[in-house]
Structure 1
């Protein structure tokens, strides 16, 4: 029998399917404090992780692992580690912004019924990996694609997600038993929500604004500040 090419026709999405994809993109939010106590069912979690696992990865290296955390004592330890780092972060801002910073809710570690730590195994695939030969960070970028897939899938499932980045990696590695050689890429809080901000929360609260897209598009080469 002749070998098949493995190719399939790239049919365009129906208009309703296309609109659903864009709706997920444009209504995705970084959730902090709107989590409901209802647990995320195992079958839903599996769908979310399957979506993450189907993210593009350079050289098909698939460098990610997913650590799921539901234990309240473990989440309490992680929240305490966040609190210490967050106090340090507040002091890094100009004095006139510190009160605004402290007023922001920047994590939902204790409130979200499910936390997920996404890691990158930088040694997976060996010493020479297709597509990583000249940019050694492609494994990290690939793992971030898995985070984005997970985020959009969560939005479709009616699950809110927040990315917590204010940690010392050493604290998280100690609490979760992560080997030193493994890179932590994202610590995520997930849970059902019944409300989402219409615009990003940091925009609503005046911390920052969305930049105009036209100012970010250059044609044929760099046109910004040097």
Structure 2
């Protein structure tokens, strides 16, 4: 089968997808169509992985009790993070909505399984962290696939990994990467909320390139 040709129109639309991909923090409570999350996970599994190890592990969190436990863990971690902010940043930090845990209809935890035998260890002898990198690529693939359907994704990282593993009852060897909230965005913008709120400014591409 010949490879498809991705012409200028597709390339332009793909760039729009990158530009409009945002870390969403505010969601509508409207449910996603049935089967949507499973389909997005299936797309994420097309991602490249070291040695074809496919080390990503997705945990869909539907239990009200488990969601409440995750929310409590977030609130504890977020309170501690607020206290550590410099005085001149505490007000801005408190104003940010750092999780969609209350409104997002879909919750998805993502882990990397370093103990997986799939891939037979290829590419991991010198850089075992390639397992986690591979799982992160799967998250990004899912993120873009969701955005292409008008679905927002928020990556919640202000959580204590060991407690998350215990709450979700997963193997202790699984490495927690992030807790994802998915749903339809309450609002959309091409600029990150953190930039709009004056928290940080995006750097230019030229500022992060070193030429040797």
The residue matched to 1:112 in structure 2 has which SS?
A: coil
Selected match of 1:21 from 14, 19, 23: 14
Determine the structure 1 residue equivalent to 2:156.
Answer: 164
Q: Normalising to structure 1: TM-score of the pair? A: 0.88
Contact 1:72–1:110 (CA under 8 A) maintained in structure 2: no
Q: What are the equivalent positions in structure 2 for 1:81-100 lying under 5 Å apart?
A: 81-100=73-92
- Name which of 70, 79, 84 aligns with 2:62: 70
C-alpha distance after superposition, 1:79-129 (max 9, x if no partner):
111000001111222122122111110001121010100111101026951
Residues 57-136 of structure 1: matches in 2 within 5 Å?
57-125=49-117, 129-136=121-128
Matched, 1:31 2:24: yes
Asked if 1:147 corresponds to 2:139, the answer is yes
Single out whichever of 37-46 and 101-110 deviates more from structure 2: 37-46
Q: Is the 8 A contact 2:51 2:120 kept in 1?
A: no
Cα displacement (A) at 1:9 = 3.8
Provide the alpha-carbon RMSD of the alignment.
1.6
Tell me if 1:186 matches 2:189: no
How far residue 74 of structure 1 moved from its aligned partner, in angstroms, is 2.3
Gaps spanning 5+ residues in structure 2: where? none
- 1:148 and 1:216 mapped to 2: Cα distance? 20
| Structure with the greater alpha carbon radius of gyration | 1
SS class of match (2:35): helix
Which runs of at least 4 in structure 1 moved beyond 2 Å after TM superposition? 8-12, 70-74
Say which SS state the counterpart of residue 66 (structure 1) adopts. Answer: strand
Instruction: Indicate how the Cα distance of structure 1 residues 25 and 188 shifts in structure 2: closer, same or farther if over 3 A, else same.
Output: same
